[in-house]
């Protein structure tokens, strides 16, 4: 049996113990780094973060109105969460009325909420609301050519999220009839 070099079992065992403190150093370092992250994402910090997100979303509507009621109103507006008034531009409402058949006007609740979802990745948004709001957004982006009746009875589309560029196009076309929120 060859006892020279590091192949002897005693040398292997001793080399493990020499590297053992280094292992504990890395373990304690990761503990010191990861443990505060666990504390940050629990309890009071999570409540504080939710409070800040709620403050960011004070501009979102507290109530929604149908397209038909907004078209008939002399000064179309809705109340926001902070009690202020969100006014609609009449030309955008008439644009939407030309885009949809009149039997869908009572179904479309405005403003359309576009929610930024950071959990889906950077720059992804979803439409918070009914299927008709999602349908209107697809129409505005020229991604849908079917009627709403066929759209509503079919399976949900594979595209459920919108990119930042698509949201910019939507906001350019409907600046007062859509709002952006954060989650």
* Whether the predicted model's global pTM rises above the 0.85 cut: no
pLDDT computed for residue 6 by the predictor: 54
The reported pLDDT for the residue numbered 70 is 97
Q: Record the tokens describing residue 63, joined without a space.
A: 């109530």
| C-alpha angle 76-82-83 in degrees, rounded to nearest 5 | 45
Among 41-45, 80-84, 113-117, which is the least confidently predicted range?
41-45
Asked whether residue 99 carries a pLDDT value surpassing 70, the answer given is: yes
**For residue 137, with 0-12 CB atoms within 10 Å meaning exposed, 13-18 middle and 19 or more buried, which class applies?**
buried
Q: Which pLDDT value is given to residue 105? A: 95
pLDDT of residue 47: 84
Per-residue model confidence as pLDDT tens digits over 8-22? 555 555 555 555 555
Q: What is the pLDDT of residue 149?
A: 86
Asked if the bond preceding 111 is cis, omega within 30° of 0, the reply is yes
175 has pLDDT over 90: yes
pLDDT in tens, 143-162: 888 888 888 888 877 678 99
Q: How far apart are CA 166 and CA 139, in angstroms?
A: 12
């Amino acid at each position: 049996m060859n006892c020279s070099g590091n192949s002897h079992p005693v040398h292997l065992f001793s080399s493990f113990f020499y590297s053992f403190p280094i292992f504990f150093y890395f373990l304690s370092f990761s503990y010191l780094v990861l443990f505060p992250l666990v504390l940050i994402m629990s309890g009071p910090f999570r409540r504080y973060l939710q409070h800040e997100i709620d403050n960011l979303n004070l501009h979102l509507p507290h109530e929604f109105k149908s397209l038909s009621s907004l078209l008939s109103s002399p000064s179309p507006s809705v109340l926001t969460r902070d009690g202020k008034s969100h006014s609609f531009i009449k030309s955008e409402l008439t644009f939407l009325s030309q885009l949809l058949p009149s039997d869908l006007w009572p179904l479309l609740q405005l403003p359309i909420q576009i929610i930024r979802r950071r959990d889906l990745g950077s720059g992804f948004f979803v439409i918070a609301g009914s299927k008709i709001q999602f349908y209107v957004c697809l129409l505005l982006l020229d991604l849908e050519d079917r009627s709403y009746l066929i759209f509503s009875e079919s399976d949900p589309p594979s595209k459920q999220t919108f990119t930042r560029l698509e949201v910019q196009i939507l906001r350019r076309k409907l600046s007062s009839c859509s709002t952006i929120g954060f989650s």
